[in-house]
């Protein structure tokens, strides 16, 4: 896997994880009656408030990274692996990992999106 694809996948994963931390985790803790635990978490990690305040920009960034990562994964999927058996196995393993990271990131993004924008509307 090239450095460019690794950087995009890493940014995608962290962007999606950021959406989960900004929106899904607080909603989950409060809905489970763990408001005090959430208050302690915010006290320990005050950056969570900043993430929540900038959730639209965070979701736009994470969505763009997901789109870019999906496009790169689709393009790479069409490329042949090397003829050397060891390198070919390494190539296939990297593609499986890449696909798994993309699916995991997309799931985190969807969960965060639900709690940030949809559940908020349902609760009103």
Residue 87 class from Cβ within 10 Å (0-12 exposed, 13-18 middle, 19+ buried)? exposed
Residue whose C-alpha is closest to residue 108's, from 15, 6, 5, 11:
15
Residues 72-114 have pLDDT tens digits of: 878 877 788 888 889 889 888 888 888 888 888 888 888 888 8
Map tokens 């005050």 to a residue: 46
Structural domains counted in the chain: 1
Residue 2 has pLDDT above 70, yes or no: no
- pLDDT level of residue 55 (50, 70, 90 thresholds): confident
Using CA atoms in the order 56, 59, 60, 66, what is the torsion angle rounded to 10 degrees? Answer: 180
Q: Are 15 and 108 in contact (CB under 8 A)?
A: no
Residue 1 has pLDDT above 60, yes or no: no
Percentage above 90 pLDDT, the chain: 1
pLDDT value of residue 65: 84
Residue range 38-66: average pLDDT?
Answer: 85
Give the pTM. 0.74
Domain that holds residue 39: 3-123
**∠ CA 4-10-111, rounded to 5°:** 135
Residue range 45-51: average pLDDT?
Answer: 83
In angstroms, the CA 6 to CA 12 distance is 10
pLDDT value of residue 104: 84
């Amino acid at each position: 896997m090239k450095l460019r694809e690794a950087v995009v996948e890493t940014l995608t994963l962290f962007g999606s994880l950021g959406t989960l931390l900004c929106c899904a985790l607080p909603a989950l803790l409060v809905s489970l009656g763990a408001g005090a635990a959430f208050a302690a978490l915010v006290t320990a990690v005050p950056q969570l408030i900043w993430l929540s305040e900038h959730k639209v920009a965070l979701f736009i960034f994470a969505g763009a990274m997901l789109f870019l990562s999906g496009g790169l994964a689709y393009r790479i999927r069409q490329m042949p692996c090397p003829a050397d058996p060891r390198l070919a196995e390494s190539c296939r393993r990297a593609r499986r990992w890449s696909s798994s990271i993309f699916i995991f990131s997309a799931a985190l993004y969807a969960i965060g999106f639900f709690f940030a924008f949809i559940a908020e509307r349902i609760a009103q």
